[in-house]
Amino acid sequence: MSESTGGTRHRIQAVALELFTEQGYEKTSLREIAERLNVTKAALYYHFKSKDEIVASFADDRLRQMDELIAWAAEQPATLATRRTLIGRYADSMFAGELPKVMRFFEQNQTVLKSLVVGQQMRDRMMRLAGELSRGDDSPAAQLRAALTLFAVHSSWFAVRAPGVTDEERKKIALEVADELLAKIGEGD
């Protein structure tokens, strides 16, 4: 392999994601990934020992981004403006780069995510983000609204089914719904 290790790793991730989305995680083998890349299985093993490692690699960057967002939010005042900025930054990260493809993969292969350690790590980060969104309002309604705010962004990938909707329009719709929920947090139900 003549390209850099990072470039090869990225190619493997891209091809694996493509195959996992096309065929499903369970029906895709490492051999098929290697064949699609036109490399030996040994070359593939140099970078990833299993399909689980490939999936975990998709989530590593996402988890890092979420940790940064949680740390940022924890240093901000618990205001509606902070909540709006937090969900805006979260949505920006959800619609950037390869993440839309990764989100579609996870949506189509939810049992995979649930069975891997990375699935629990993602759920933990989501709950921490929801906690930051509802910080300052400990009511059960605020906790639910915070979780649903995050879900509004996530569910836009599969719930908004209108033909021809662009990713930017999808994001705008998700943020409008999220804002309706955020506006109620801290109002003292």
pLDDT for 5 equals 57
> Residue 161 — left, alpha, or beta (φ > 0 → left; ψ -120 to 50 → alpha)?
alpha
92, 145: one domain = yes
C-alpha neighbours within 13 Å on the C-beta side of residue 99: 19
pLDDT for 22 equals 86
Domain that holds residue 61: 55-182
89, 144: one domain = yes
Global pTM reads 0.79
Residue 188 lies in a domain: no
Residue 2 has pLDDT above 60, yes or no: no
Q: The domain spanning residue 33 has which CATH number?
A: 1.10.10.60
pLDDT for 3 equals 46
What is the average per-residue pLDDT within 112-135?
Answer: 87
Which of 113, 107, 89 lies closest to 158 in space, CA to CA?
Answer: 107
Cα dihedral 68→76→154→54 (10° resolution): 10
Residue 39 has pLDDT above 60, yes or no: yes
Q: Residue type at 175?
A: L
Residue 189 lies in a domain: no
pLDDT for 104 equals 72
Q: The domain spanning residue 121 has which CATH number?
A: 1.10.357
Average pLDDT, the chain: 88
pLDDT digit string, tens, across residues 8-26: 888 999 999 899 888 888 8
Residue 47 has pLDDT above 90, yes or no: yes
Contact indicator for 44, 23 with CB cutoff of 8 Å? no
Residue 133 lies in a domain: yes
Q: In total, how many domains does the chain have?
A: 2
Residue 100 has pLDDT above 80, yes or no: no
User: Which of 23-27, 52-56, 63-67, 103-107 shows the lowest per-residue confidence on average (mean pLDDT)?
Assistant: 103-107
123, 176: one domain = yes
156, 75: one domain = yes
Q: What band does 91 get if pLDDT is binned at 50, 70 and 90?
A: very high
Residue 99 has pLDDT above 50, yes or no: yes
What is the average per-residue pLDDT within 85-112?
Answer: 80
Q: What band does 141 get if pLDDT is binned at 50, 70 and 90?
A: very high
Residue 35 has pLDDT above 80, yes or no: yes
The larger pLDDT score, comparing residue 72 to residue 20, is at 72
